[in-house]
C-alpha cells in the first residue's frame, strides 16, 4: 500500500500552526526540505509487498498490560512546578490563553 | 419561500456526547490519586505531567468499569481495542496530546432504554470509549492564565448517542437516567457539582414546510453540568433554530456552518462560541507507549456477572411484584442502596405495600432532611422491615409508627421495644375501646346525629368519630376494631 507522502510549505505551515510553533520563512523552507527527505526515506517501506501481512496497531506482540487501581505517591506541588518558567502559588502561570477557533 | 411559524412543523433532533468520570482511586495511566479540591498541582507524577521518558500503564479497574457500562448500554464490546493520541496544544494538556480511542472504541452499537410516556424508548448508542481528562485553566486572571493539572489523566468514559432524542423532556430524562445507571453500576459517583458528568447535546431541527423538509445547522452546546441546564439549553436551541430559519430560510445544514455554543445559566440562553467550519485536525495516531487490549470471553463473562439488575427493569419489576404505582416504583429505585434496602425491608416485613408506604412517606422525609438517600440512613433494612411488620400486624397504628420511626433515627433499640416504652402499642382490649368510643359519642352529639340521620353527611361524620377515638386513645386504639365498635354502636342507635 504505497502512499504518496508530499511535504510542501503549506503543509509545514499548517502543522507548525497546529503545534503552536512560530517558524520563520527560512525555517519553513529548511523544514520542508528536511521533512521531505525523512518522509521520503520512510516511504521506501511502501515498496515492500505487504499484501499478506495483517495490519497491526503496535510493534510488540504484547497486549493487556495493566496495573491495579492502587494509589502511588505523587510529587509535592513544588516538585511538580520545579520546571515551570512561571508560577503563582501552586499554579502554573502561562500566557493568556487565546481561543483561535481551531483548538479542541 | 417566506414560511410563517404557523405553516411549519418542527421536529427536534438531539444526540448526546457525555463524559462520565469513572470512580477509580487513581488516574487512567498512572498511580496518582483522583482528587477534587486538593492543593493545585499536588496530584502529579512524571506520567501525568508528560515528562520525557515517562510511560503510561493502563488502570485495570477503569477498563472493567468501561466494559461494564458498555454491557449495561447493550453495546457490543470490541475484542480488540487500542489507544490513540489526539494531538492538540493547550496549557491544560501537558503532553500536547490526549490519550483516547479513535477508530476502535471499546464499546459500540448499543441502545439505552429510558422511561418515556406510556413505557420506554430506546436511544441508540453509537460508541463508548475511554480517554483521559485534561487539567483546568483559570482564565479570569487579566493578561495571564493559571493552570492546575490535578485533574489531568482522570479516567473518563465518553458515551455518544444517536440523534434519537426528540424533546427537551426526553433530553432531561436521558441525562438523569444515565446518571442513575452509572451510579447503579458503581462505575461513577455521578456528582454533577464536581463535574463528574458533563453533557454536550448536539441539536438541530427538522422543519417541514410547503411539502419540503429542511434541516437547520447542528449546534453543540458545550459542557453542561446540570440537568436543568440540559433541559434549558435544548429548549432554547429548539426555539432559536426555528426562529433563525423563519428569518432566513438559508439557515440550513451544510449551507451554514455548525456551531459550538455555551450555556449562560443566568440569562437562560445559549451563546455563540465559534463556527465548526474547519474539521479539527487532531492528527490521531496509535500511541506507541501503550499496548492494545484484547478482551476474551472469560474476561467478558466475568464482567457480565457483576452486572446488576438495571434501574428501568427493576422499576417495572417493583410495579408488578409489589403492586406500587409507576411513580412510587421510580422513587423506590431512585438509587441502588435505597432499592436494595427496600427489598430487604419488605422481605423482613412480609408486607411490601406497608413497607413502601413507610419508605415513601416517612423514611424518604428523614433522608431528604439529611440530604442522603434512604439507603444511607442510619437505620438498618432489618429494623425498617420490623416496623412495617408491626403496622401490618396492627401492633401499632400507622401514625404511631411515624413517631417510632423518628425515634429509631437516634436510638438503636428494637422498634417493638420503642413502641412499648413510648406507650404506643395498639390497644385491642374490648373494655378500653368501648370506654373511648362511649366518651367520644357523649362529647360529639352533632356528629353522632349526622352519622345516624343525615345520609349526606354520614360518611364524613363517621370519619370524624374515628379520628376522635384515635385521638382520645393517643393513637393507640386498634383502628379497625375502633371502627367496628363505632359502626356497631351507630347501628344499635339506628335500630333503637
Ligand atoms: Zn500521575
Least CA distance to A60: which residue of chain B? B291
The tens digit of pLDDT for each residue in A65-94 reads 999 999 999 999 999 999 999 999 999 999
- Asked if residue A100 has pLDDT above 60, the reply is no
Q: Is residue A18 part of a domain?
A: yes
B48 Cα–ligand 1 center, Å:
4
Closest Cα to residue B206, out of B13, B458, B404? B13
| Min distance B101 CA to chain A CA atoms (Å) | 12
Task: Report how far residue A12's alpha carbon sits from residue A29's, in angstroms, rounded to the nearest whole number.
Answer: 9
Task: Report how far residue B115's alpha carbon sits from residue B119's, in angstroms, rounded to the nearest whole number.
Answer: 6
Q: Is residue A87 part of a domain?
A: no
Mean pLDDT score, B278-295: 87
pLDDT for the residue B256: 92
B55 Cα–ligand 1 center, Å:
10
- Cell numbers describing residue B202: 448536539
Higher pLDDT pick, A63 / A2 = A63
Task: Report how far residue B291's alpha carbon sits from residue B83's, in angstroms, rounded to the nearest whole number.
Answer: 8
B24 Cα–ligand 1 center, Å:
13
Q: Is residue A58 part of a domain?
A: no
Q: Which of A60, A89, A102 sits opposite B291 (nearest CB)?
A: A60
Q: Are strands A66-67 and B58-59 parallel, antiparallel or unpaired?
A: parallel
Number of domains in chain A: 1
Q: How many CB pairs under 8 A join A and B?
A: 144
Burial-class residue B287 by CB neighbours within 10 Å (0-12, 13-18, 19+).
buried
ipTM of the complex as predicted = 0.85
Residues in chain A closer than 8 A to B140 (CB atoms): none
- Asked if residue B225 has pLDDT above 80, the reply is yes
Higher pLDDT pick, A2 / B13 = B13
Tell me which of B131-135, B227-231, B396-400 is least confident.
B396-400
- Asked if residue A4 has pLDDT above 80, the reply is no
Task: Report how far residue B467's alpha carbon sits from residue B482's, in angstroms, rounded to the nearest whole number.
Answer: 10
Q: Cβ separation of B293 and A63 shorter than 8 Å?
A: yes
The tens digit of pLDDT for each residue in B151-178 reads 999 999 999 999 999 999 999 999 999 9
- Asked if residue A102 has pLDDT above 60, the reply is no
Task: Report how far residue B162's alpha carbon sits from residue B265's, in angstroms, rounded to the nearest whole number.
Answer: 26
- Asked if residue B229 has pLDDT above 80, the reply is yes
Mean pLDDT score, B302-316: 94
Higher pLDDT pick, B309 / B274 = B309
Cβ–Cβ < 8 Å for B1, B248: no
Mean pLDDT score, B247-264: 94
Q: Is residue A15 part of a domain?
A: yes
Is residue B74 left, alpha or beta, with left meaning phi > 0 and alpha meaning psi from -120 to 50? Answer: left
B119 Cα–ligand 1 center, Å:
46
Residue of A15, A22, A75, A79 to mutate, interface with B, max B Cβ within 10 Å: A75
Cβ–Cβ < 8 Å for B292, B258: no
Q: Is residue A19 part of a domain?
A: yes
Residue of B25, B27, B32, B40 to mutate, interface with A, max A Cβ within 10 Å: B40
- Asked if residue B238 has pLDDT above 90, the reply is yes
- Asked if residue B257 has pLDDT above 60, the reply is yes
| Min distance A29 CA to chain B CA atoms (Å) | 22
Q: B461 in helix, strand or coil?
A: helix
B284 Cα–ligand 1 center, Å:
23
pLDDT for the residue B427: 81
Least CA distance to B83: which residue of chain A? A57
| Min distance A100 CA to chain B CA atoms (Å) | 9
Mean residue pLDDT of chain B comes to 93
Closest Cα to residue B379, out of B420, B424, B338? B338
Task: Report how far residue B11's alpha carbon sits from residue B79's, in angstroms, rounded to the nearest whole number.
Answer: 38
Least CA distance to A83: which residue of chain B? B51
B246 Cα–ligand 1 center, Å:
52
Residues in chain A closer than 8 A to B104 (CB atoms): 57
Which residues lie closer than 8 Å to B137 by C-beta, 6 or more apart?
A97, B91, B92, B145, B146, B147
A26 Cα–ligand 1 center, Å:
39
Which residues lie closer than 8 Å to A25 by C-beta, 6 or more apart?
none
Q: Are strands B285-286 and B84-87 parallel, antiparallel or unpaired?
A: antiparallel
Sequence length of chain B is: 496
Q: Is residue A41 part of a domain?
A: yes
The label of the residue with cell 474547519 reads B278
Q: Cβ separation of A58 and B137 shorter than 8 Å?
A: no
Mean pLDDT score, B413-421: 92
Q: Cβ separation of B145 and A97 shorter than 8 Å?
A: yes
CATH number, domain of A19, equals 1.10.20
Least CA distance to A89: which residue of chain B? B40
Residues in chain A closer than 8 A to B30 (CB atoms): 72
The tens digit of pLDDT for each residue in B322-359 reads 999 999 999 999 999 999 999 999 999 999 999 999 99
Q: Which of B39, B61, B273 sits opposite A77 (nearest CB)?
A: B39
Listed in sequence order, the DSSP H helices in A1-104 are 9-18, 25-43, 77-80
pLDDT for the residue B32: 98
Q: Is residue A31 part of a domain?
A: yes
Q: Cβ separation of A80 and B49 shorter than 8 Å?
A: yes
Task: Report how far residue B194's alpha carbon sits from residue B159's, in angstroms, rounded to the nearest whole number.
Answer: 19
Mean pLDDT score, B106-134: 94
B136 Cα–ligand 1 center, Å:
15
Task: Report how far residue B208's alpha carbon sits from residue B213's, in angstroms, rounded to the nearest whole number.
Answer: 4
Task: Report how far residue B164's alpha carbon sits from residue B477's, in angstroms, rounded to the nearest whole number.
Answer: 57
pLDDT for the residue A99: 62
Residues in chain A closer than 8 A to B33 (CB atoms): 71, 74
Sheet strands (E) in B43-154: 58-59, 76-77, 80-81, 84-87, 97-100, 107-116, 119-132, 136-141, 144-148
Across B78-104, b (16+ Cβ under 10 Å) vs e yields beebbbbbbbbebbbbbbebbbbbbeb
The label of the residue with cell 370519619 reads B463
Q: Is residue A27 part of a domain?
A: yes
Q: B319 in helix, strand or coil?
A: helix
Residue range of the domain that includes A19: 9-45
Q: Cβ separation of A94 and B147 shorter than 8 Å?
A: yes
Q: Which of A77, A96, A99 sits opposite B41 (nearest CB)?
A: A77
Task: Report how far residue B424's alpha carbon sits from residue B426's, in angstroms, rounded to the nearest whole number.
Answer: 6
Closest Cα to residue A44, out of A8, A7, A3? A3
- Cell numbers describing residue B326: 409507576
The pLDDT confidence band at residue B279, using thresholds 50, 70 and 90, is: low
Least CA distance to B59: which residue of chain A? A67
Q: Cβ separation of B58 and A65 shorter than 8 Å?
A: yes
Q: Is A22 on the interface with B (CB under 8 A)?
A: no
The label of the residue with cell 468499569 reads B65
Is the entire prediction scored with pTM above 0.80?
A: yes
B27 Cα–ligand 1 center, Å:
7
Amino acid at each position: 500500500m504505497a502512499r504518496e507522502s508530499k511535504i510542501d510549505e503549506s503543509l509545514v505551515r499548517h502543522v507548525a500552526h497546529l503545534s503552536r510553533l512560530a517558524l520563520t520563512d527560512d525555517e519553513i523552507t529548511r523544514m520542508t526540505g528536511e521533512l521531505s527527505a525523512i518522509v521520503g526515506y520512510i516511504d521506501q517501506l511502501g515498496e515492500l509487498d505487504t499484501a499478506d501481512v495483517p495490519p497491526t496497531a503496535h510493534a510488540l506482540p504484547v497486549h493487556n498490560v495493566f496495573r491495579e487501581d492502587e494509589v502511588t505517591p505523587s510529587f509535592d506541588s513544588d516538585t511538580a512546578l520545579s520546571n515551570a518558567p512561571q508560577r503563582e502559588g501552586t499554579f502554573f502561570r502561562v500566557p493568556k490563553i487565546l481561543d483561535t477557533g481551531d483548538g479542541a | 419561500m417566506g414560511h410563517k411559524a404557523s405553516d411549519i412543523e418542527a421536529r427536534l433532533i438531539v444526540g448526546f456526547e457525555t463524559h462520565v468520570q469513572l470512580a477509580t482511586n487513581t488516574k487512567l495511566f498512572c498511580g496518582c490519586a483522583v482528587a477534587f479540591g486538593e492543593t493545585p498541582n499536588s496530584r502529579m507524577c512524571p506520567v501525568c505531567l508528560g515528562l520525557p521518558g515517562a510511560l503510561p500503564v493502563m488502570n485495570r479497574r477503569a477498563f472493567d468499569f468501561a466494559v461494564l457500562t458498555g454491557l449495561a448500554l447493550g453495546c457490543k464490546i470490541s475484542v480488540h481495542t487500542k489507544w490513540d493520541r489526539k494531538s492538540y496544544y493547550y496549557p491544560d494538556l501537558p503532553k500536547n496530546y490526549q490519550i483516547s480511542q479513535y477508530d476502535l472504541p471499546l464499546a459500540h452499537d448499543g441502545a439505552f432504554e429510558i422511561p418515556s410516556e406510556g413505557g420506554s424508548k430506546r436511544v441508540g448508542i453509537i460508541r463508548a470509549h475511554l480517554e483521559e481528562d485534561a487539567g483546568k485553566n483559570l482564565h479570569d486572571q487579566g493578561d495571564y492564565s493559571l493552570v492546575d493539572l490535578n485533574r489531568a489523566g482522570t479516567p473518563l468514559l465518553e458515551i455518544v448517542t444517536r440523534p434519537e432524542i426528540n424533546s427537551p423532556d426526553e433530553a432531561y430524562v436521558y441525562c438523569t437516567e444515565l446518571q442513575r445507571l452509572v451510579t447503579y453500576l458503581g462505575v461513577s459517583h455521578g456528582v454533577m457539582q464536581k463535574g463528574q458528568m458533563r453533557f454536550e447535546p448536539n441539536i438541530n431541527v427538522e422543519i417541514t414546510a410547503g411539502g419540503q423538509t429542511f434541516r437547520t445547522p447542528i449546534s453543540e452546546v458545550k459542557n453542561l453540568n446540570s440537568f436543568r441546564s440540559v433541559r434549558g439549553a435544548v429548549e432554547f436551541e429548539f426555539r432559536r433554530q426555528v426562529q433563525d430559519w423563519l428569518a432566513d430560510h438559508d439557515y440550513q445544514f451544510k449551507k451554514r456552518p455548525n456551531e459550538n455554543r455555551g450555556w449562560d445559566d443566568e440569562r437562560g440562553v445559549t451563546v455563540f462560541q465559534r463556527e465548526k467550519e474547519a474539521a479539527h485536525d487532531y492528527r490521531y495516531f496509535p500511541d506507541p507507549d501503550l499496548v492494545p487490549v484484547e478482551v476474551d470471553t472469560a474476561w467478558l463473562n466475568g464482567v457480565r456477572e457483576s452486572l446488576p439488575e438495571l434501574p428501568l427493569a427493576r422499576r417495572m419489576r417493583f410495579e408488578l411484584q409489589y403492586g406500587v404505582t409507576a411513580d412510587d416504583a421510580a422513587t423506590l429505585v431512585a438509587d441502588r442502596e435505597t432499592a436494595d434496602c427496600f427489598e430487604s425491608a419488605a422481605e423482613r416485613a412480609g408486607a411490601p405495600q406497608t413497607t413502601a408506604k413507610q419508605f415513601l412517606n416517612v423514611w424518604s422525609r428523614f433522608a431528604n432532611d439529611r440530604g442522603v438517600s434512604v439507603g444511607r440512613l442510619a437505620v438498618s433494612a432489618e429494623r425498617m422491615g420490623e416496623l412495617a411488620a408491626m403496622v401490618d400486624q396492627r401492633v401499632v397504628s400507622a401514625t404511631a409508627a411515624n413517631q417510632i420511626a423518628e425515634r429509631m433515627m437516634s436510638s438503636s433499640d428494637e422498634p417493638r421495644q420503642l413502641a412499648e416504652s413510648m406507650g404506643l402499642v395498639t390497644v385491642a382490649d374490648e373494655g378500653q375501646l368501648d370506654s373511648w368510643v362511649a366518651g367520644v359519642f357523649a362529647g360529639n352529639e352533632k356528629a353522632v346525629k349526622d352519622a345516624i340521620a343525615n345520609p349526606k353527611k354520614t360518611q364524613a361524620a363517621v370519619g370524624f368519630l374515628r379520628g376522635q377515638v384515635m385521638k382520645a386513645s393517643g393513637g393507640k386504639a386498634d383502628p379497625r376494631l375502633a371502627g367496628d365498635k363505632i359502626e356497631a354502636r351507630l347501628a344499635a342507635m339506628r335500630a333503637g
